[in-house]
A = this chain, B = another copy of it.
Amino acid sequence: MPVDTMVNILELAGLYVFATSGALMAIHKRFDVVGIVVLALLTALGGGVLRDLVIGDTPPAAFTNVNYLVIPMVAAVVTFFAHPLVGRLAFPVLVFDAAGLGLFCVTGTLKALDFGLGSLQAVLLGVTTAVGGGVLRDITARETPALVQMDTDLYSIPAAAGAAVVVAAHHTDLPMPVVATCAALFVFMFRIVAMVRHWTAPHAWEPKGRTG
């Protein structure tokens, strides 16, 4: 029970920061209050809704637990008024975002496994849960999705690594709450280090003697 409660609190915290990142982008693009609410909801809920549509769990969790709608709306309202302050809190926001990344890739992977999907599929859906909302945010705001851009700090690769850990442990007798916690922490740390050290993913291999 305390584990469930902790996961729940972390999940709502993750939704809050994901929604904040959507609201901040909307304000940066000078969208109006409708745009702020839409991007907050899309960013926070998009990944989970995509996952639930794919596994066939309709209505998606975002439409059955009202907290999942209320929390992003609260984040949108707070950001609407407090964005100059929130903007100055860029690093704390990124830290919470890393926590959300770790949490949602783990819970998404576990849900996909629960619904009987295979290992590779579960990893893909775990990553989708964690990064799908950001992709929808970027597409709606007419930005090139950060997911695919060159020279952004690693984001989906920590999530994929964490999802792979969960899937591997699923085939063993290890206690899942412990594994899930460790995997989420691992993703969190991996992402934080990637940000601090500016680790980026390679771009396409070039034969020697060619210029980039």
A59-B55, A80-B205 known; A139+B141 contact, CB < 8 A: no
Residues of B within 8 A of A38 (CB): 147-148
Which of A59, A118, A210 gathers the greatest number of chain B CB atoms within 10 Å? A59
Query: Would you list which residues of chain A between 192 and 207 have a CB under 8 Å from chain B?
Result: 200-207
Whether a CB of chain B sits under 8 angstroms from the CB of A171 is no
A144 beta carbon closer than 8 Å to chain B: yes
Query: CB distance B142 to A140 under 8 Å?
Result: no
Query: How many A residues touch the partner, as a band?
Result: 35 or more
Q: Which one of B36, B150, B157 contacts A31 once the chains associate, using CB atoms below 8 Å?
A: B150
Is A207 within 8 A of B140, CB to CB? no
Return the CB mask of A120-134 against B: 1 if under 8 Å, else 0: 110011000000000
The oligomer's copy count stands at 3
A34: contacting residue among B26, B32, B148, CB under 8 A: B148
A60 to B56, CA, bound (A): 9
Report whether B201 and A124 are in contact in the complex, using a CB–CB cutoff of 8 Å: no
Sample 24 A-B pairs with CB under 8 A, ordered by A number: A26-B204, A27-B204, A30-B203, A31-B150, A31-B203, A32-B150, A33-B202, A34-B156, A34-B201, A35-B148, A38-B147, A39-B148, A49-B54, A53-B53, A53-B54, A54-B58, A55-B58, A63-B125, A66-B118, A66-B120, A81-B205, A83-B204, A83-B205, A139-B140
16 further interface pairs, Cβ-Cβ under 8 Å (given A36-B204, A59-B115) = A26-B148, A26-B204, A32-B148, A32-B152, A34-B201, A35-B147, A53-B54, A54-B59, A55-B58, A55-B63, A59-B117, A64-B118, A69-B124, A70-B120, A80-B204, A84-B210
